[in-house]
Amino acid sequence: MAKYYDIDDILAEDELVPAIFKVAANEVGLIDSSDDTNKVESGSKVELPFWLASELHLRQAVSVGFPRCFNKRTQEEIKADAAHVDLRNRCPYFYELGCKIVLLTGDKSIGPVLLVAFMTRYKEVLIKAHTTSLTVAPKSLTLLTNEEAKLYEAARSSTAAVKKWRMGGPRLKKASVLGRKRKPVE
Amino acid sequence: MAGQSDPSGSTFAAAELEFLAEDETVEIVPNMRMDTLDFICGQYEKLTQILEAERDSLDLFQPLPFHYVEISRLLFDHARDDIPDVYLVRSLIEDIKDVRFHKIGTGMEKLAGRASAIVLKHISAMEVNIVRPFTARALETFYKLDSPEMLPDSERGAVKHSQVADHGQRRPLRPNR
């Protein structure tokens, strides 16, 4: 809950993570809809949004694992060619969610993967953001996670703003108030 | 002091920078016959030298006026008749700017891992303003991902070079200076 008003932070916490119930819980059948008993057995595997899983984890009710987007295969792909892995499709909040899970569970095994992935992909974003033409969005943009897309957008908009400034345009604008005629005082 | 156009107040719009640049003193030449023009960086012939120097050294930026981009544009807009060889001067400045910006780009590619400060000597206002939003965001992410809480002890230092303390390190834009 570090960034209470940050919509991206909220959406990142909405991603599903796998969790295993350590205790049996009544009246929460909708989480595990495999039967009608309206309860979750101890040891059953469910997918919960991160915000719920983290609260339950803190209460020792579930153990949280890494979602599929951090599985072996993705890790291999990142090691092979991080720049061309479609992370957006796997998890639009790859880094955010990864950080949150690591901090929650203390399992640091994916830390290096996150760092290497960002290091490689950051360079791609850097080059593309400052070189590609401003009107056409490059195709590789669809591979970027939400965080990377924002990075790209930040670079692109500042470059565009400077371009616009150099092209000129209206330099000094008259305030709308000044155009009006003052009413004569009676 | 921060820009007014940005809702978060953290960056300046280009026009705001230009406004600030108008405070800078420029050397002017009386309106009479003259041999050389005193331009922003002194004599006009110097621009070619600066371009050469800029091209020669990959690591360093030449010391130019902090607002050289803005001032040169203002001069070209308002005093173009007073500048001899205005097209040449203009293209020289464009070239200098392109070389410098390319240098910033290649320097930023080297960025990796936690850094508390990036040293950019002689960078101008417009140049730093262009890269500011991107760099701030990227550094923030690097800071988060490269923190001790995120990496197993065995991996720390393996991914990148050794680390000083927790607060990160100062990092020159081009580490191989």
Lowest-pLDDT choice from A67-81, B6-20, B119-133 = B6-20
Q: pLDDT category, A167, cuts 50, 70, 90?
A: confident
With 70 as the cut, is the pLDDT of residue B171 above it?
no
Higher pLDDT, B59 or A162: A162
Q: Is A116 on the interface with B (CB under 8 A)?
A: yes
Contacts with B113 from chain A: Cβ below 8 Å = 115, 119
Higher pLDDT, A171 or B27: B27
Main-chain dihedrals φ then ψ at residue B43, nearest 5 degrees? -75, 150
A127–B142 CB contact, under 8 Å? no
A158–B159 CB contact, under 8 Å? no
Cβ–Cβ contacts within 10 Å for residue A80, how many? 9
Percent pLDDT > 70 in chain A is 75
Q: Is A34 on the interface with B (CB under 8 A)?
A: no
- pLDDT in the model for residue B172: 52
- pLDDT in the model for residue A179: 65
Contacts with A112 from chain B: Cβ below 8 Å = 151-152, 155, 158-159
DSSP B3-65: -SSSTTS-S--HHHHHHHHTTS------SS--SS-EETTEETTHHHHHHHHHHH-SS------
Q: Which ipTM score applies to this complex? A: 0.73
- pLDDT in the model for residue B35: 62
Does the pTM surpass 0.90? The reply is no
Q: Is A3 on the interface with B (CB under 8 A)?
A: no
Q: Is B15 on the interface with A (CB under 8 A)?
A: yes
